[in-house]
Structure 1
Amino acid sequence: MLSVRNGWFPRRSLGRSLGWRAPAAVGAGALPALAFPAPALWWFAYVALVPWMLLLRSAPTGRRAALEGWLGGAGFIVAVHHWLLPSLHVFLVLVAALLGLFWIPWALLVRELLGGRPAAGRAAAGLVLVPAGWLLSELARSWQGLGGPWGLLGASQWQVPPALRLASVGGVWLVSLLVVAVNCALVLLLAAPGARIPAVAGVTGCAVLTGAVWLWAERPEVSGRLRVAVVQPGPVADGPDSAERRFAAGERLTRTLAGQRPDLVVWGESSVGADLTARPDLARRLAALSAQTGAPLLVNVDARGADRPGIYKSSVLMGPQGPTGDRYDKMRLVPFGEYVPARAVLGWVTSVGRAAGEDRMRGGAPVVMDLPGGVRVGPLVCFESAFPDMSRRLTRDGASLLVAQSATSTFQDSWAPGQHASLAALRAAEDGRPMVHATLTGVSVVHGPSGERIGPALPTSASTAAVYEVPLATGSTLYVRFGDWAVGAALAALVAYCAVQGARSLRRPAPEPSSPPARTARG
């Protein structure tokens, strides 16, 4: 039989045999999106990569594997971010095509290490290096300028206690490594019978690792409780006075908290639509609410500053006498939503979607705010809760409570609110600190210092104020102390593999030049 791998297959037959592979790669790459909210099929993450990896390991050439890795990566990006289509339209496909390139190295590793009939050594290497290659793709696209770490595979495990414990050791990155390793082992069990021993060993090793972490990893020690009220006004119709109506709704709901003795009241992102210096009447109304409830209010101002140029999104702590002086300006902005990268080149996207017409201004440094009684709050704004390093920095700076103020009303009826809210569980578990995720229109939720949910979540249909008994914790997790060591270990493994492969290619003798065929005389 003619060999495809050796290039002996007729070109026309080859085209027909590969015609189905491109759409299959896109579809297979999209499958892991089902593990995230809203479907939230967390268990599916452990098998979701298998169809894509089976396709890649059977690719006839490395070039074909690279193409199918790119297409599958683009399919994954579109599936996880499909709710952006009304805002970005066709530009989402272009972004997905760009980000999909980051899966090419992973696809080549899958074909090289899991393809054919891998011996035990190659299969064992695949169980380590293929997850490391996946993590490389996650790390590359996690740069804020490319959209940030949204849809990391490990984040699909936000409601699984053993996975949250694993996150406290190595962050969401370690959870991603575990999930991909299990998928690798299943691929070997299904397609490479000769590699069953390392495959079974890999699955067993993942289970043992998770169990060991469950028993050994430090658990946060509860050191008290804080009564935190979350105010969720609910949807407000767009219009010239929408900011005023949103403020009035938050004001009305906050008054219902009088007598419930909250220690802190949290409003969502963009809950105040005017600079408080320019609108002292709003500042007085907020101060009156603080006096009435007996608690400071953490609000979020989205407005052009009266004393500084540009528009900022700022977390501002208000007391009975007005602003306390604690203010945090959002540092990491949403690409296209809050600024347009390289606006001189890409400014045209504002004409085909809802991209920002004017770039927001960036804050300069994280801020930890002091509450009465010694509790310290670390605020984040909107999609900053997707960045593990930001909450870790706040924890190391002394925050005992993490707060994310968010607004996903643009994507109200999509998967976005649930996906965003789920990130609070990961950040809480990583840092051993409770986290409040407060939104304008839901989903608002509170998670304890082990990532466990505290009380009911406020769905997107709710317009209410709710008080949560939030457990505070002391101590430090391994992730807070050692940071992204799992990423460093994965990169080190990939570098070592590349070095070994490079050394082997240098030692391999060069092929001797073939002599040209002798010419024969023609008579």
Structure 2
Amino acid sequence: MLSDRPRWWWTAAAVPAGALPALAFPAPSLWWFTYVALVPGMLLLRTAPSGRRAALEGWLGGAGFILAVHHWLLSSLGVFLLPLAALLGVLWIPYGLLVRRLLGGVPGAGRAGAALVLVPAGWLLSELTRSWQGLGGPWGLLGASQWQVPPALRLASVGGVWLLSLLIVALNCAVALLISAPPARFPAAAGVTGCALLTGVVWLWVPGPTVSGELRVAVVQVGPAGITQSVEERFATGERLTRQLAGQRLDLVVWGESSVGSDLSARPDLARRLAELSARVGAPLLVNVDARRTAAETRGAPGIYKSAVLVGPLGPTGDRYDKMRLVPFGEYVPARSVLGWATSAGKAAGEDRRPGTAPVLMDLPAAAHGAGVRIGPLVCFETAFPDMSRHLTREGAALLVDQSSTATFQDSWAPAQHASLGALRAAENGRPVVHATLTGISEVHGPSGERIGAPLPGSASAAAVYDVPLAGGSTFYTRFGDWPVAAALTALAGYCAARGAGALRGGRFRKPAPGPTARPARTARG
């Protein structure tokens, strides 16, 4: 241990070391950098002179990671992003302690082997905890950086994004061992080889999706003007772009999030215009309504909803999905009575949106495509949650559609990061994903996660048509879910139990035994 290292310099270095993995995500998209991006932080943590220092540096590294991956939120949250990063950084304390314990000093083969399993589990623990919607959701999961790597996407079909995160941290751990601990080179090399073999076996033996049909889907993207246009002007732009699609034999037309600013039951003129558009292009329209609804329309829960609504030639079909997982501060303020001041410190929601209560599947008209195709709608950052896409797939969705708007963060890394999530959700479930946005980036991914056609960049105001392959069957991940999570948590629980039992056996937690009772000294008899 480098117990004499300068305290302030090394502690401060934890922040930039923790931020390094952000370069692997879009927009830089240096996906290969992920395999070594954690190494500087691991080398720092393993030399921490005490557990307290390792906890502090793990915390600071986690805060640095959150700041780097979410830096584009500064325009919305302002200075509130700093305490938020500090709060979430606490989740990396167990990871920091595990790195110091298992990689510190001169680890033997046994400890190095344990590190290759337990250090990734410690990282995954932080990802799982912050994936709760109230803490911002699963944005910036380490495995999501591999969205454009075909072997990684095939692995995602087996264990989801969680398996990718575990393997990436294991590779970084192996590299750190190779650099810092010569006696542990054998298990480190074995770890690298094991990751490579697993990837190869999955690639060779896990079948890819079998294409079973095709849909012609059009995406209508209002473009940059959607940021400044009024609600009526935005609708008119979408209307104009949709008219240009007439005669292209479409199965579905998708508009972006908040493309309609009034509830269609309150504005029959808008419903009529949409129905006329549907008749003109010969396909239903999936629009997104961001509007207030009355108590009568919502069965006693009035408020503002974000809803995917399917409209056919005769008007709204009755299929409506209300967004269930809302963006903290962006669409509602958690504990508003306490944190309501955030509305003055940044661009937090002035009024809470109301969440939906259940996922919805929508049937496309049989005349458009043949029978049996159902779509599973999601709204905005709901594509970040692996469980939502998996649930829709298990219920029968053949196509996943995400309606999004990152207009507030248009000139940042956010649109590219958001669009990339479609590749992970597609590969996990073997279902194509259409990511349609109001202002870009819109793109489509096939059932293996591959990109279909050219994306619509943020500078485009256009309508594009995509031939989307459909696939049948079910992936291992869709069938068995988050088994890597269960395995990692079980390993961590076993380690903690073994450590606790060892401490008890060693007497660390026992009360000290009372000393021998003093006996009165015998007096010599004369």
1:347 maps onto 2:340 in alignment: yes
- The answer to whether the 8 A contact 2:253-2:283 is kept is yes
C-alpha distance in 2 between matches for 1:214 and 1:40: 23
Equivalent residue, structure 2, for 1:110: 99
Equivalent residue, structure 1, for 2:57: 68
Could you tell me which amino acid in structure 2 is paired with residue 19 of structure 1? Answer: W
Equivalent residue, structure 1, for 2:387: 389
Q: Which moved more, 1:373-382 or 1:32-41?
A: 373-382
One of 326, 329, 332 as aligned partner of 2:325: 332
- The answer to whether the 8 A contact 2:447-2:470 is kept is yes
Map 1:185-200 to 2 at 5 A.
185-200=174-189
- The answer to whether the 8 A contact 1:236-1:242 is kept is no
Equivalent residue, structure 2, for 1:141: 130
SS in 1 for 2:225: coil
One of 5, 19, 26 as aligned partner of 1:30: 19
Q: Deviation of residue 283 (structure 1)?
A: 0.3
Could you tell me which amino acid in structure 1 is paired with residue 466 of structure 2? Answer: Y
Could you tell me which amino acid in structure 2 is paired with residue 162 of structure 1? Answer: P
Q: Deviation of residue 49 (structure 1)?
A: 0.2
1:279 maps onto 2:242 in alignment: no
C-alpha distance in 2 between matches for 1:244 and 1:337: 23
One of 254, 274, 277 as aligned partner of 1:266: 254
Equivalent residue, structure 2, for 1:521: none
Deviations 1:356-381 (A, max 9, x none): 00000010100000002321000000
Could you tell me which amino acid in structure 2 is paired with residue 340 of structure 1? Answer: V
Q: Deviation of residue 23 (structure 1)?
A: 2.0
C-alpha distance in 1 between matches for 2:339 and 2:408: 22
Could you tell me which amino acid in structure 2 is paired with residue 211 of structure 1? Answer: G
Gaps of 5+ in 1: 516-523
One of 465, 468, 473 as aligned partner of 1:467: 465
Could you tell me which amino acid in structure 2 is paired with residue 289 of structure 1? Answer: L
- The answer to whether the 8 A contact 2:2-2:48 is kept is no
Q: Deviation of residue 237 (structure 1)?
A: 6.2
Q: 1:204 to 1:238 in 2, by over 3 A?
A: closer
Could you tell me which amino acid in structure 1 is paired with residue 308 of structure 2? Answer: S
1:235 maps onto 2:228 in alignment: no
Map 1:216-235 to 2 at 5 A.
216-235=205-224
C-alpha distance in 2 between matches for 1:419 and 1:23: 28
Could you tell me which amino acid in structure 1 is paired with residue 462 of structure 2? Answer: T
C-alpha distance in 2 between matches for 1:482 and 1:150: 23
Map 1:401-420 to 2 at 5 A.
401-420=399-418
1:315 maps onto 2:308 in alignment: yes
Could you tell me which amino acid in structure 2 is paired with residue 255 of structure 1? Answer: R
Equivalent residue, structure 2, for 1:520: none
Could you tell me which amino acid in structure 1 is paired with residue 242 of structure 2? Answer: T
C-alpha distance in 1 between matches for 2:348 and 2:10: 34
Q: Deviation of residue 145 (structure 1)?
A: 0.5
C-alpha distance in 1 between matches for 2:205 and 2:489: 26
Map 1:161-180 to 2 at 5 A.
161-180=150-169
SS in 2 for 1:454: strand
Moved over 4 A (4+): 510-515
Deviations 1:153-181 (A, max 9, x none): 00000000000000000000000001000
C-alpha distance in 2 between matches for 1:275 and 1:68: 50
- The answer to whether the 8 A contact 2:289-2:308 is kept is yes
SS in 2 for 1:20: helix
Could you tell me which amino acid in structure 2 is paired with residue 48 of structure 1? Answer: A
C-alpha distance in 1 between matches for 2:258 and 2:321: 13
C-alpha distance in 1 between matches for 2:331 and 2:19: 27
- The answer to whether the 8 A contact 1:78-1:93 is kept is yes
1:357 maps onto 2:350 in alignment: yes
1:183 maps onto 2:172 in alignment: yes
Equivalent residue, structure 1, for 2:519: none
- The answer to whether the 8 A contact 1:274-1:304 is kept is yes
Q: TM-score, normalised by structure 2?
A: 0.94
Could you tell me which amino acid in structure 1 is paired with residue 99 of structure 2? Answer: V
SS in 2 for 1:451: coil
- The answer to whether the 8 A contact 2:2-2:47 is kept is no
- The answer to whether the 8 A contact 2:398-2:432 is kept is yes
Map 1:200-211 to 2 at 5 A.
200-211=189-200
C-alpha distance in 2 between matches for 1:480 and 1:131: 23
Equivalent residue, structure 1, for 2:484: 486
Q: Deviation of residue 312 (structure 1)?
A: 0.3
Could you tell me which amino acid in structure 2 is paired with residue 400 of structure 1? Answer: A
Equivalent residue, structure 2, for 1:251: 239
Could you tell me which amino acid in structure 1 is paired with residue 344 of structure 2? Answer: S
Identity of aligned residues (%): 76
Equivalent residue, structure 1, for 2:375: 377
SS in 1 for 2:105: coil
- The answer to whether the 8 A contact 2:227-2:439 is kept is no
Q: 1:277 to 1:490 in 2, by over 3 A?
A: same
C-alpha distance in 2 between matches for 1:237 and 1:470: 26
- The answer to whether the 8 A contact 2:160-2:428 is kept is yes
C-alpha distance in 2 between matches for 1:427 and 1:74: 27
Once superposed, what is the RMSD of the aligned Cα atoms?
1.4
Deviations 1:96-120 (A, max 9, x none): 0010000000000000001110000
C-alpha distance in 1 between matches for 2:235 and 2:344: 30
C-alpha distance in 2 between matches for 1:277 and 1:301: 11
One of 280, 283, 289 as aligned partner of 1:301: 289
Could you tell me which amino acid in structure 2 is paired with residue 463 of structure 1? Answer: S
Equivalent residue, structure 2, for 1:430: 428
C-alpha distance in 2 between matches for 1:362 and 1:411: 23
Equivalent residue, structure 1, for 2:522: none
SS in 2 for 1:455: strand
Equivalent residue, structure 2, for 1:507: 505
Could you tell me which amino acid in structure 2 is paired with residue 429 of structure 1? Answer: A
Deviations 1:214-261 (A, max 9, x none): 11113211001000000001123666x611111111000000000111
- The answer to whether the 8 A contact 1:318-1:324 is kept is yes
